[in-house]
Amino acid sequence: MSAEPVLEARGVTLSFGPTPALRGAELAVQRGEILAIMGPSGSGKSTLLHCLAGILTPEGGEVRFAGQRLDTMPEQARSALRRDRFGFVFQFGQLVPELTAVENVALPLLLARTKRAAALAQAREWFGRLGLDGLEGRRSGELSGGQAQRVALARALVTRPDVVFADEPTGALDSLTGEQVMDLLVATAREQGATVVVVTHEPRVAACADREVVVRDGVVRSLVGGGLSS
């Protein structure tokens, strides 16, 4: 028996005004899989990621997480699911500038009502793991791009999410730093058994994934033996 995919998009369509961003996107992601979504700029990659993560609601089609319909779920339930089961890494880290690095990492735990001392203690454990020892008290303006992105990784992983969604996580970094961040993301996700969906235009980032798909004109195509099939 084949395992149920952790994430599934079926015939997903979504337009922004007159612009169709997704035109029947189909995708199934297996539990524990590291999947790279590639494709030209404007092809619909981010829109697909946001639909899979329950941030955007498609106009047509279905999105499922662990068999549950995300697209028809009330917003409050989706928001709780995003908080408890998903982690997010964005291109520019998007740390809260007023908070210290360790407070940023603790934030998802605090939002899930973990007591402050326990949340900070759990957050601190990530600093050693991600080579960030000593940076706990810094604010985002006092971190390098690579350090800030590692803090963002810790924040995405601290709740032990089922799925980490990463939108161009290395896009603002030089290639060596980007590679380190991606290696850390893949290694920590594998350790925790988390699924990773990463949108990237960098082949080196995609090379870290178990599988690549390409989005073109709002449709997902699989990459098979170097050629494209729909």
Give the binding site for ligand ADP (CB under 6 A).
16, 19, 21, 39, 41-47
Distance CA 31, CA 72 (A): 22
CA 140 to chain centre: 20
The least distance separating ligand ADP from the CB of residue 90, rounded to whole angstroms, comes to 12
Shorter beta-carbon distance to ligand ADP: residue 46 or 188: 46
Q: How far is the CB of 45 from ligand ADP (least distance, A)?
A: 4
Beta carbon of residue 122, minimum distance to ligand ADP (angstroms, whole number): 32
Nearer to ligand ADP, 59 or 191 (CB): 59
Give the nearer residue to ligand ADP in terms of CB position, either 145 or 171: 171
Give me the least distance between CB of 19 and ligand ADP, in Å please. 5
Residue type at 66? A
Smaller CB separation from ligand ADP, 84 or 217 = 217
Smaller CB separation from ligand ADP, 110 or 223: 223
* Shortest distance in whole angstroms from residue 82 CB to ligand ADP: 18
SS3 182: helix
What would the DSSP string read from start to end of 50-113? Answer: HHHTTSS--SEEEEEETTEESTTS-HHHHHHHHHHHEEEE-TT----TTSBHHHHHHHHHHHTT
Q: Count Cβ atoms below 10 Å from residue 3 Cβ, excluding itself.
A: 8
Closest CB to ligand ADP among residues 136, 217: 217
Strand intervals (E) in the chain: 7-16, 19-29, 34-38, 60-65, 68-69, 86-89, 163-167, 195-199, 211-216, 219-224, 227-229
Task: Please tell me what DSSP assigns to residue 201.
Answer: S
Give the Cβ contact number of residue 166 at 10 Å.
Answer: 28
- What is the closest distance, in whole angstroms, from the C-beta atom of residue 47 to ligand ADP in the complex? 3
Instruction: List the one residue out of 98, 124, 120, 125 whose CA is nearest residue 107.
Output: 120
